Structure 1
Amino acid sequence: MDIAESDRSKSRTALDRVRAELLPLLVLAALMLAARSSFANHYHVPSGSMQPTLQPGDRVAVDMTAYGVRIPFTLVDVVARGGPRPGEVVVFDSPADGTRLIKRAVAVAGDTVELVDGRLRINGAALQPDGMIDVERFGTREVALDLRHGGGPGIVPTVVPDGMVLVLGDHRGRSADGRYFGLVPEREFYGRAVAVYHRRGEGFVWKRL
């Protein structure tokens, strides 16, 4: 065997070794990416529109299976589980420009929703517990509001149509939400925010939402 052939043989051996080591890593990375698309993900909060619940810079764990199990990188459900329930913090793409947003689902199909001075009425009933003007109650879930900058635009009594959801920010006077871009179709929700897992100044935490 001459020197040139020996060099080529060594090159092939090295290339085969790289392929053998790299291929499993690439497959693992692809599987992790697919799992992240379909099962769990995270969201970095860019603004104060959900204060006081979420602070700018918060990192939030998101359950991507809450509203159905989907084929990775698509909106095609393998297992459908219905849409968000009022009070849940949800992740979706803005109908206006496709920006990934995090807001609170406040009204679903069949609900008659009204918003006055930043405070909700659903089916004619106010959501404020007795004597608590800056809190709304969704079932057993109590949500603190930020009304320091007023309540923002109001909503006249409106019935939410089938397959649609109204989302609002908890910081009612500083949130670009459903009052601006309209209702969001149920199938557009990527997942439900589960907990804040990292907050500036506190480090790693686990604050359930």
Structure 2
Amino acid sequence: MTTAAAEPQSNRLLHWLKKEALPLLVMLGLLAAARDSLANHYQVPSGSMQPTLEPGDRVVVDMRAYGLRLPFTSVELLHTGTPQRGEVAVFDSPQDGTRLIKRVAAVGGDRVDLFDGHLSINGQPLAQAGLGEVEDFGRILARLDLAQGGGPDITGLTVPTGKVLMLGDHRGNSADGRYFGLVDASTLYGKATRVYYRRGEGFTWQAL
């Protein structure tokens, strides 16, 4: 039998759930969905992208760059773009599922050669004379770190349509596409756009 004192208490609890808890849960759900579909962040775990990215760097990831997806799924709702050479992207390794951050070195249709860490696309070297260890991707200049050599070479690879080759800027210290193979362009998690925090420097806003 319900007592008269218990009924007001039950009503108060129900009122609190409707008034306070439900809006909070809805807000958290919307924030989570926005983070999964619109923008996110990533902490760089290693030095494979030095000197562009340092271990511990926190970067902004644009989740809309390569397609607007249904939150918490891989279902694409709207195609918004394709990976371009030189962009820095976050993706899951096809080898073991580890989330990685590397540079899009080549896209579908490109013929790739890599010798001593220096990249050539369709027969054209990307490192220009006088620029030092810098590769020119057109809109993007990527500075390399070859202090530990260039890592494994690539000879005469043609990237199939729908695939991308992901490489680290620290060519001799990067477990990248030379080890785990090509990546489906449609599976790239998002485009890294800026470094917003760096150890020793604090908050920053450095474009990639």
TM-score bucket of the superposed structures, by smaller chain: over 0.9
Q: TM-score, normalised by structure 2?
A: 0.96
* C-alpha distance in 2 between matches for 1:118 and 1:145: 9
Report deviation, 1:112.
Answer: 0.2
What residue in structure 1 maps to residue 59 of structure 2?
60
Amino acid at match of 1:63: D
Q: Which residue is 1:109 aligned to?
A: 108
What is the CA–CA distance in structure 2 between the aligned matches of 1:143 and 1:16, rounded to whole Å? 58
Question: CA deviation digits over 1:84-139, x for unaligned, max 9?
Answer: 10000001110001111100001001100010000100000100122234110000
Which moved further from structure 2: 8-17 or 47-56? Answer: 8-17
Q: Deviations over 1:127-184 (max 9, x none)?
A: 0122234110000311100000000011011100010000000000000000000000
Question: What is the CA distance between 1:205 and its match in structure 2?
Answer: 0.5
Runs ≥4 residues deviating over 4 A: none
2:128 corresponds to: 129
The 2-side partners of 1:121 and 1:160 are apart by: 13
Q: Is the 8 A contact 1:75 1:187 kept in 2?
A: no
Q: Is the 8 A contact 1:90 1:192 kept in 2?
A: yes
Which residue matches 2:153?
154
Q: Return 168-177 or 78-87, whichever deviates more.
A: 78-87
Q: Give the distance between the partners of 1:82 and 1:165, measured in 2 at CA.
A: 14
1:51 — aligned with what?
50
Alpha-carbon distance in structure 2 between the residues aligned to 1:201 and 1:133: 27
AA aligned opposite 1:7: A
| Cα shift at 1:76 | 1.3
Distance 1:189 1:139 in 2: 21
Separation (CA, whole Å) in 2 of partners of 1:207 and 1:171: 19
User: Which residue identity is paired with 1:184?
Assistant: V
For residue 6 of structure 1, give the secondary structure of its aligned residue in structure 2. coil
Q: Which range moved further: 9-18 or 158-167?
A: 9-18
Deviation (angstroms), 1:14:
2.9
Q: Which residue of 2 aligns with 1:8?
A: 6
With 133-142 and 30-39 compared, the bigger mean Cα shift is at 133-142
Mapped to 1, the partners of 2:104 and 2:199 lie a distance apart of 25
SS in 1 for 2:5: helix
Cα distance in 1 for residues equivalent to 2:88 and 2:131: 21
Shift of 1:11: 2.2
SS in 1 for 2:47: coil
Partners of 2:42 and 2:138 in 1: CA distance: 26
Structure 2 distance, partners of 1:92, 1:166, is 12
% identity of equivalent residues: 58
How many residues of Structure 1 are paired with residues of Structure 2 in the alignment? Answer: 207
* Structure 1 residue matching 2:169: 3-state secondary structure: coil
Tell me the C-alpha RMSD between the 2 structures.
Answer: 1.3
Pair 1:86-2:90 in alignment:
no
Corresponding residue SS for 2:50 = coil
Q: Unmatched 5+ residue regions in structure 1?
A: none
2:14 aligned counterpart, secondary structure: helix
How far residue 39 of structure 1 moved from its aligned partner, in angstroms, is 0.4
CA distance in 2, matches of 1:39, 1:140: 24
